[in-house]
Structure 1
Amino acid sequence: MKAVVTEIRQSRSGVIVKTEDGSIYRAAYVMVSVSIGVLQTNLINFHPDLPQWKILAIYQFDMAVYTKIFIKFPYKFWPTGNGTEFFLYAHEKRGYYTVWQQLERTYPGSNALLVTVTDDESRRIEQQPDSDTKKEIVEVLRNMFGKNIPEPTHILVPRWWSNRFYKGAFSNWPIGVSRFEYDQMRAPVGRVYFTGEHTSQQYNGYVHGAYLAGIDSAKIMIRCIKNKDCKYHAMPKGT
């Protein structure tokens, strides 16, 4: 099913899920696996509203933006071989196309570079045309390798922050957030359960964190359904 969920309505008897195309689905329980970034938007409306403790937990976390920009050239003009996979660019503006990687070891003959930007620079770049980003990148490369480098043939600029289904690349636990907030983030609300990499205490921010969190949350739901043990135990604050 490819449908955008816009509303989750629960009662003592079950859950009703409404989608953007007008479809309605009914279930006894629901698992919500969207990112923290999506939970912080109004894409999905919960009825009744999520309790205050859940909302506070959601907004205690941040979504980091980590952008890997791929750019391809007709031929390579950068050094290759041992010790040349990564190189750095120093600019007066923090994070301005700083970390570079040439991909010849991984993809021989690709003539491609990867440059990583994060957070403020990611958001800035996502809001401008790819053509402007390409011009900025070429200027940086010409500062490093000379004015005679070729024009790129292709560029790929992911837009994790702008995409309403992600609103960032992965969750970030700010200073002061502890196991207590993690437990509240993972805790079910009635018949609505939550999972995702942001609910993985050990591996938040990683794909395997999302995978393991899905298993953990499913076990919590199954325990409630099969054994009627629906209590969720949260660690006290400060432990």
Structure 2
Amino acid sequence: MKEDISIAKAIAIVLERNPHLRQEGIAHDVLQWYLCRMEGWFATDADAISLQCWDQEVLLPGGHGLMVRGYRPVINTLAKGLDIRLGHRVVEIVRHWNRVEVTVSNGKTFVADAAVITVPLGVLKSNTIKFEPRLPEWKEEAIRELSVGVENKIVLHFSEVFWPNVEFLGVVSSTTYGCSYFLNLHKATGHAVLVYMPAGRLACDIEKMSDEAAAQFAFSQLKKILPNAAEPLNYLVSHWG
């Protein structure tokens, strides 16, 4: 396999070899916004997105859907009749030829015929779960090499709707870092809510702020689109970094 490069580097090479393709002014800014949307899709910056693999995802047919009541109804339905133990942090998984032993942080051990491990990649990368015997080398290498992206959501709730009835509102800029976009939840839920969705380095930088400062930053981005935007009534900030 040929050496991989990032999407950002590939674009730079193309523009260097074909100067006539360079965009200026608003056309350049719009291109940055589309790259910003790609960064949001992969939850990382364009200089970390693989040129070889970026389009290998298989998309399911059909349109997009929004869980207007959240995923709790789905979880509650799937959980019926199951013995679910919350607050049990797994620290060790031991495989024997005829059983699996799962030990949690309070020292209790659960024994089963088999275990399905579905913890997030970030948990595997943190090595907080000890596997005995160790995972195969190829699997440990995959865990090391794969990255975990960051995309956060800053939910702004307003007293009334003052924005157009569109799915997204976008801020264009000369760099992807300066671009941003808002998801219009009013279109699907009827509530006066916009969700600011930063990704990559921008999301990591925003996580260094207090929730109040993060909400104010999101609102400042909104005012670039709608200068007369009303102050939000309240906000909610996620932290995935």
Cα distance in 2 for residues equivalent to 1:93 and 1:45: 42
Which amino acid counterpart does residue 71 of structure 1 have in structure 2?
Answer: L
Structure that is richer in helix per residue: 2
Q: How big is the shift at 1:24?
A: 1.0
For structure 2, the residue ranges without an aligned partner over 5 or more in a row are 1-84
Which amino acid counterpart does residue 200 of structure 2 have in structure 1?
Answer: D
Identity %: 27
Say yes or no: does 1:121 pair with 2:199.
no
Which amino acid counterpart does residue 184 of structure 2 have in structure 1?
Answer: Q
Say yes or no: does 1:131 pair with 2:212.
yes
Q: How big is the shift at 1:136?
A: 0.8
Q: How big is the shift at 1:160?
A: 2.5
- 2:154 and 2:215 in contact (8 A); partners too: no
Of the three residues 221, 224, 233, the one matched with 1:140 is 221
Say yes or no: does 1:70 pair with 2:70.
no
Cα distance in 1 for residues equivalent to 2:212 and 2:167: 26
The SS at the match of 1:57 is helix
Say yes or no: does 1:21 pair with 2:106.
yes
- 1:76 and 1:111 in contact (8 A); partners too: yes
> How do residues 56-205 of structure 1 correspond to structure 2 at under 5 angstroms?
56-80=141-165, 84-96=166-178, 98-108=180-190, 110-146=191-227, 148-161=228-241
Q: How big is the shift at 1:52?
A: 1.8
Q: How big is the shift at 1:132?
A: 0.8
2:138 aligns to what? 53
- 2:94 and 2:101 in contact (8 A); partners too: yes
Q: How big is the shift at 1:65?
A: 2.3
For structure 1, the residue ranges without an aligned partner over 5 or more in a row are 162-239
Q: How big is the shift at 1:71?
A: 0.9
Aligned length: 156
Cα distance in 1 for residues equivalent to 2:106 and 2:174: 48
Q: How big is the shift at 1:53?
A: 2.0
Structure that is richer in strand per residue: 1
Q: How big is the shift at 1:96?
A: 4.1
- 2:215 and 2:237 in contact (8 A); partners too: no
The SS at the match of 1:56 is helix
- 1:95 and 1:117 in contact (8 A); partners too: no
TM-score (norm 1): 0.58
The change in CA–CA distance for 1:20 and 1:150 in structure 2 (over 3 A counts) is same
The SS at the match of 2:126 is coil
2:72 aligns to what? none
Q: Any idea what the Cα deviations from partners look like across 1:147-188, whole Å, max 9, x if unmatched?
A: x43221121222233xxxxxxxxxxxxxxxxxxxxxxxxxxx
